[in-house]
Amino acid sequence: MCCVFKMKRFTINANDAGQRVDKFITKACPNMPLSMLYKAVRKKDVKLNRRRCDISARLCEGDVLEIYLPDDVFAKDSKDISRVSGDIRVVYEDENIILADKPVGLAVHEDESSTADTLANRVKAYLIQKGEYDPERENSFAPALCNRLDRNTCGIVIAAKNAEALRIMNEKIRSRQVHKRYLCIVLGTPEPREAVLHHYLFKNSKTNTVTVQEKKTRENREIITGYKVLKTNGELSLAEIDLMTGRTHQIRAHMAYIGHPLLGDGKYGDNRINRTYGIKTQALCAYKLRFDFTGEKTALDYLSGREFTVDDVWFEDKFL
């Protein structure tokens, strides 16, 4: 069977600008193998403003990119979110970002369950319903999450509404200019009541578990976790966590390592005690977020110095 070839023309918009040609094409045409992309460039089947271009060329708003390829590579490979609820709890929202309070049990992205009902898709559905996002008018961009939480951890997740906000926020997170605080309930009373823990974390990808270790190896990574006991009854303590590095299961594993696992944690905690309290998920919430931006001016500088908090943490007054 012969392939049907056609020419697809993309007019670069604000959300596409600044990307390399190859990065744009892999997003706009997710069904295209990389080998086909590089071959198309070599054969001059990819043109930028009607001229031959290199895959590393940077796109500008208003540019016209033309690609001559088999028709099937232009079909967008994305899940139908028409049935996904746009129900999200908004902590804060403006023209660039949303701070959403993710509930327990909701995955941030699609996982092995393959459900389309994720926080990422709910944000898209929410913005579609508001008329702020139209998938048919976007070539390569979709609203995206800037940070993630475990399925059974609740709290604030940052979503970017446009490409510039996504780029800036990701950079601010990488350079540790976005500060997160967590609330959790741990077993017993940590001593001292306030400390900064320094250890190393080894991740076993096969079992999706981590192990805290004392010494640095080639395989493990440094973890730094600050904690402060806010109140205690001897059996349980409410603690605030300052996550200084963001590793898989860091808070849960680190607190368990010092003998004070999280209440409700079935993986690193004590299931006998969890059953006593009738809790089946870890008492952990990313409840506070603060922006402290430095460096070159950006379009998000108006957020610097601002702090946002989840008002109702489900476990805060339930067990102590």
- Give the model's pLDDT for residue 15: 94
CATH architecture of the domain with residue range 181-287: 2-Layer Sandwich (3.30)
Topology of the domain comprising 5-74: 3.10.290
What is the token pair recorded at 271?
């299931």
3-state secondary structure the chain: CCCCEEEEEEECCCCCCCCEHHHHHHHHCCCCCHHHHHHHHHCCCEEECCEECCCCCECCCCCEEEEEEEHHHHCCCCCCCCCCCCCCCEEEECCCEEEEEECCCCCCCCCCCCCCCCHHHHHHHHHHHHCCCCHHHCCCCCCEECCCCCCCCEEEEEEECCHHHHHHHHHHHHCCCEEEEEEEEEECCCCCCEEEEEEEEEEECCCCEEEEECCCCCCCEEEEEEEEEEEECCCEEEEEEEECCCCCCHHHHHHHHCCCCECCCCCCCCHHHHHHHCCCCCCEEEEEEEECCCCCCCCCHHHCCCEEECCCCCCCCCCC
The mean pLDDT value for 81-92 works out to 90
The mean pLDDT value for 260-264 works out to 98
> Which position has the higher pLDDT, 32 or 318?
318
CATH number of this structure's domain 90-174 = 3.30.2350.10
Q: Which residues make up the CATH 3.30.2350.10 domain(s) of the chain? A: 90-174, 181-287
CA distance 206 to 301: 41
pLDDT for 36-69, tens place per residue?
Answer: 888 888 888 899 999 988 889 999 999 999 988 7
Confidence of residue 194 (pLDDT cuts 50, 70, 90): very high
Confidence of residue 80 (pLDDT cuts 50, 70, 90): low
Q: What average pLDDT does the structure give for the chain?
A: 92
Q: What Cα–Cα distance (Å) separates residue 53 from each residue in 21, 56, 144, 171, 271?
A: 8, 8, 29, 28, 60
pLDDT for 214-224, tens place per residue?
Answer: 999 999 999 99
- How many CB atoms are closer than 10 A to CB 296? 6
pTM of the complete model: 0.87
pLDDT for 109-165, tens place per residue?
Answer: 987 666 889 999 999 999 999 999 998 889 989 999 999 999 999 999 999 999 999
Q: Which residues make up the CATH 3.10.290.10 domain(s) of the chain? A: 5-74
Contact residues for 77 (Cβ-Cβ < 8 A; gap 6+): 30, 31
What single-letter amino acid sits at 194? E
